[in-house]
Amino acid sequence: MDTRTIEHPKSLPGTIRTGGRTERIRQQVAQAVLALVRDGNFHFDVRDVVARSGVHKTTIYRRWPTRQALINEAFREHNTQIKLADTGTWAGDLMQLCLVLRNFFSLPSEIAFNAALAMNGNESLTQGFRESWLPVQAQLEQVVERAQARGEVRRDVAPSLITRLLTSPLLTTIMFEKRMPEDAELATLVDFLVAATQVRRRSQLHPAHPR
């Protein structure tokens, strides 16, 4: 099985070459911002990040000169927990996506972030979440595009629509029903999406009418 980690684009500014002290500082700062947001401090400033991370403010200002850059870095770090697998089949890919996204959406930190975004009108948080999710969304859509290339999924269905149909039930169950979707529910969702997106044969498009 070819397991691929979602790639996240380099930021401008904030992303420095990985490895060693530079990477440790990046992770410290990102985790500090995530902790502040998780605790409900949506209007944090650099002093709060310094206190949480232990990183000097000069270093923070140099690498993340704006509050938005800090938020973007934090959400990108958070989303690196999502890892996708290419199973080679549409049904297999869908089940993998369901399992990976269910586990990710069920993380206490992810639940807290989604609740904060839903209840708080902070534009910086919303922008950071949206921008950091774009590469994840692109990877999800690539799974659909691979299935379309294999002839398993209709080409007239937008990949973005399929990914919304996949993620919406998971988020609804976790955020509103306050429970984790069971494997059987995921299997039902997969069966539904496979049936809804399958390539239609000519006989299905023009069924014969009885005389």
> Which residue ranges does the chain devote to CATH 1.10.357.10?
81-199
According to CATH, the topology of domain 81-199 is: Tetracycline Repressor; domain 2 (1.10.357)
| Local confidence band at 203 (pLDDT 50, 70, 90 cut-offs) | low
Which residues make Cβ contacts (< 8 Å) with residue 66, sequence separation at least 6? Answer: none
How far from chain centre, in Å, is Cα 115? 15
* Statement: residue 86 has pLDDT above 60: yes
| Average pLDDT of the chain, as a whole number | 88
Q: What is the percent of the chain with per-residue pLDDT over 90, rounded to a whole number?
A: 70
> Which residue ranges does the chain devote to CATH 1.10.10.60?
10-78
Kindly state which CATH superfamily the domain 10-78 is placed in.
Homeodomain-like (1.10.10.60)
Report the pLDDT value the prediction gives residue 185, as an integer from 0 to 100.
Answer: 98
Over residues 25-61, the pLDDT tens digits come to 999 999 999 999 888 888 899 999 999 999 999 999 9
